[in-house]
Amino acid sequence: MKKAELIFVPLPGTSHLGSTLEFAKRLMDRDDRISITVLVMKVPFGNAMTKSLTASHSRRIRFIDLPEAVDLPPLQLLMTSPECYFSLFAEKNTPLVRNVVGDIVSSSQYSDSDNSDAVRVTGLDLDFIFLSMVDVADELGLPSYLFLAFNVGYLGLMRYLSTRHDQIIAEFQYSDSDLIIPGFVNPVPVSVLLPALFNKDGYTCYVKLAQRLKDVKGIIVNTFSELEQHAFNSFSCGSNPPVYTVGPLLHLQVGSNNPDLEESQCQKIQKWLDDQPESSVLFLCFGMGGSFGPAQVKEIASGLEQSEYRFLWSLRVGHHQSTSDHDDVLPEGFMERTRGRGMVCGWAPQVEILAHKAIGGFVSHCGWNSILESLWFGVPIATWPLYAEQQFNAFRLVKELGLSVELRLDSKMDGDLVVTADEIAGAVRCVMDGDSEIRKKVKELAEIGKKSVLEGGSSFDSIRQFINMNF
């Protein structure tokens, strides 16, 4: 193989960009003839975290900052319909991507004519939201690949969506019957589908993306085959593009999750955890977009008191803001009554916390990265999904894989009071049960996941297959 350059077009932001860069690193570690260029788009939010991630990889990966696209959709659309926002965002950035990739390809072709050791561009690796840019790859004579920051179950849902649309050209209704989706053991209730699939605009955006799956040369997924064997086997049948399971792809660098997090706060959390018994602390964290109204916060607090377990609670109240002053939203006297067995904080270093021996359970929004992190460290989850694909992930964890405690499967961040204190207390007791079958399964899967990325493991071999088939 000559020297080969693969160009990545990721969605900016930690949840997608982090796993993309981890995969890029693994490719280069496996074959020193592979080089990676990453195109970085400008977005009107989250740029500090993007810069932090790119800076930590800049010695090995070439980053090209794209100019800001003109006439970007209004930020208000991001709040009301993220899928529509990013569909328009992709459309606006496509000419910029075409120009940069075209220049790289032309340069490599010119160099190749004079130098047998020159780097040859071998493909365009696209985030799911940018699958329309398959046309750019086609125009330039390049193969295109999908890098999926989600899981094989999500991939199966998108394939089902494309097939369904050929027969039913309409968005889903909450009154629809349960769905029979290839790769799923159980019927899937419509209540756990992505909320966007229930409105015309969101449904149209996802259908367009799902229909492009067949046009890529390969699909790279941040998972390991043992975790999703049934779904993986299903997608591997027929005329689908080959699927490469290359995860878990985790950005485990200490202090990398949030560059704005104060070091003193990290040290305070770490010291508190160091003083707690092993597997005794429940961690509650709901991701970058997870926040609650005052009534729900009080229910969570009451549930934690009832459970009588130790806890570390990353609390964000309204408008997705974190705060270090919680007295005005917590029940009166809560901090005093739980002093010594509980800690409430704003932003929290999730990876470092899940890695700590004191953590015994995790109440999570069920974002895919959070799920993989919890599995990596052998920490069982109580599911509390809020938005995007999280309800779908929660359903799979509980009903398909038997790896999580059901707190809620179909809750959504569209009301003030979602889950009661009694429900929370019950789920906390279940997830913290040291002898539960779920805890045993999660511990076993943690070992399998770690072995999968080592030489001879399933993900290690899958990366080798990707390199052999495409370079």
State the CB neighbour count (10 A cutoff) for residue 254: 10
Q: Long-range contacts for 81-89 (Cβ within 8 Å, ≥24 apart)?
A: 81/196, 81/199, 81/201, 81/202, 82/196, 82/388, 83/196, 83/201, 83/202, 83/205, 83/206, 84/201, 84/202, 84/205, 86/11, 86/129, 87/129, 87/205, 87/208, 89/41, 89/43, 89/129
Full pLDDT tens readout for the chain, 471 residues: 689 999 999 998 778 899 999 999 999 999 999 999 999 998 877 667 777 778 877 788 999 999 999 898 898 898 888 889 999 999 999 999 999 999 999 987 655 555 656 789 999 999 999 999 999 999 999 999 999 999 999 999 999 999 999 999 999 999 999 999 999 999 999 999 999 999 999 999 999 999 999 999 999 999 999 999 999 999 877 788 999 999 999 988 655 455 556 688 889 999 999 999 999 999 999 988 888 988 999 999 999 999 999 999 999 876 545 545 566 789 999 999 999 999 999 889 999 999 999 999 999 999 999 999 999 999 999 999 999 999 999 999 999 999 999 999 998 877 666 799 999 999 999 999 999 999 999 999 999 999 999 999 999 999 999 999 988
What is the pTM assigned to this prediction? 0.94
Give Cβ neighbours of residue 41 (< 8 Å, ≥ 6 apart).
Answer: 12, 66, 69, 89, 93, 96
DSSP 191: G
> Cα–Cα distance between 37 and 6 in angstroms, integer?
6
SS3 12: coil
Predicted pLDDT at 320: 46
User: No. of H helices and E strands in the chain?
Assistant: 17, 13
CA distance 394 to 38: 31
Hey, what domains does the chain have and what are their CATH numbers? 4-247+453-470 (3.40.50.2000), 263-449 (3.40.50.2000)
